[in-house]
Amino acid sequence: MKINVAIIGVGNAASAFIQGLYYYKNGEDKVGLTFKTLAGYKITDINIVAAIDISSDKVGKDLSEAIFSGSNEVEKIVNIPKMNVKVEMGNVLDGVIDETKEIYNPANLSCVDIVDLFKKTNTEIAVCLIPSMSDQAVKFYAEQALKANVAFINCTPTSLANDSEWVNKFKSKGIPLIGDDLQDQIGSTILHKLILEQMENRGVNIIESYALDVGGGPESLNTIYRAREIKREIKSKSIKSSLKKEADIVGGTSDYVPHLLNSRNTFIWIVGEYFNGEKIYIDMKVVTNDGANGGAILMDIIRATKVALIRGEKGIVEPICAYGFKNPPSGTKSPEVARKLLADFILGTI
């Protein structure tokens, strides 16, 4: 059974995700997936039926072409046939600021009737991948999903799943709301948490730590100008959740470097105490391609959300949020606990 998905925001994350649908299409033995099959659904069951963006470089194009257009910098790893999904014009609202206007190049067009688009394409799940802190735009698209009775996955830091008003709106409509702030597969936050968790389990007392990102690409530029503080708060909170004791922890974005393009460099520093009070210092650098880092997790979230739809789940679905997001409404969990929660949900034991 296909899972009909609408993509809102055809940027680098969308490009990597859509390429992944084809990369794994004829060879799911390839590495990189967290779950090849989830609740009986394979990657090939995810079906993109609609796409929305505001860039004049993408609107009007077939999605197969649009993901390699405009400001997108994700490397082309697979040839994609025509998808017969035209990128429709969205609502700009606060999705563009002065510092990113030239990069996003918004089209001078009216917003498509999104509710009608969702209904005509039989969209079941809308995935919001627009720039961080585009609060008005995120809420606009969430409202359209409500009107069309479509589940909404909020990959941005905008507070929806953590906002009781929005949760109640989706609950009263009888459809799932999933979020907030998509967790990377092996980004700095998850890696940092795993290292700290294992150190503490080995008896090391964590004194202080930080993880600071330097990146290129439109999302990094957007983060620097209007999402740095909220990102820092969410990341720091998520990293701290891996520890049983309090420690000085900071995580966040420190700068934008254009020539890094879609790559992100993360610098992790950890100071701890072990046997006899001796000190351990860890200084490491992690380099990733930002666009691809949420792909595998997003594939899991979409398939799990389909299960939630079938079961008639209303409002937030805690196990999915805990597994796939940096700022879930129930509070961040350790990676091991979050994975078990998702497994229990899929098995129907919670």
Among the candidates 289, 308, 328, a domain finishes at: 289
Q: Same domain for 19 and 142?
A: yes
Residues 38 and 112 placed together within one structural domain of the fold? yes
Q: How many percent of the chain have pLDDT more than 70?
A: 99
Do 301 and 267 fall within a single domain?
A: no
**Close Cβ partners of 209 (under 8 Å, ≥ 6 residues apart):** 192, 196, 239, 247, 248, 249, 250, 268, 269, 270, 271
Residues 58 and 192 in one domain: no
Q: Is the pLDDT of residue 15 over 60?
A: yes
Question: CA geometry: angle at 293 spanning 259 and 127, to 5°?
Answer: 110
Helix (H) or strand (E) holding 237: helix 228-240
Side-chain-side CA neighbours of residue 43 (13 Å): 24
CATH number, domain of 114, equals 3.40.50.720
Q: Are residues 164 and 222 in the same domain?
A: no
Q: Work out how many domains the chain is built from and give that number.
A: 2
Residues 20, 144: one domain?
yes
CATH number at residue 216: 3.30.360.10
Q: Is pLDDT of 28 > 60?
A: no
For 200-229, what is the mean pLDDT? 91
Per-residue pLDDT band at 29 (split at 50, 70, 90) = confident
- Assess whether 9 and 138 both reside in one domain: yes
221 has pLDDT over 90:
no
User: Residue 255 and residue 224: Cα distance in Å, rounded?
Assistant: 7
Predicted confidence (pLDDT) at residue 275 exceeds the cutoff of 60: yes
- Averaged pLDDT score across all residues of the chain: 94
- Give the pLDDT band of residue 188 (cuts 50, 70, 90): confident
- Residue 243 sits in which domain range? 188-289
pLDDT of residue 156: 97
How far from chain centre, in Å, is Cα 215?
Answer: 17
Identify the pLDDT of residue 208. 97
**What pLDDT digit, counting tens, does each position of 123-150 carry?**
999 999 999 989 999 999 999 999 999 9
DSSP letters along 12-75, please?
HHHHHHHHHHHHTTT-TTSS--S-SEETTEEGGGEEEEEEEE-BTTTTTSBHHHHTTSTT--PP
Q: How many DSSP H helices and E strands does the chain contain?
A: 12, 13
pLDDT at 228: 85
Q: Please report the pLDDT score of residue 238 as a whole number.
A: 87
| Residues 69-101: tens digit of each pLDDT | 999 999 999 999 999 999 999 999 999 999 999
Are 227 and 338 contained in the same domain? Answer: no
Q: What is the pLDDT of residues 300-335, one digit of tens each?
A: 999 999 999 999 999 999 999 999 999 999 988 888
- pLDDT in the model for residue 234: 87
Of 270, 289, 308, the residue that ends a domain is 289
The per-residue pLDDT for 198 is 94
The residue among 84, 136, 91 whose CA lies nearest residue 115 is: 91
**Are residues 9 and 103 both part of a single domain?**
yes
Check residue 27 and give its pLDDT: 62
pLDDT above 60 (res 2): yes
CA dihedral of 148, 12, 25, 287, whole degrees rounded to 10: -140
Domain boundary among 273, 289, 305: 289
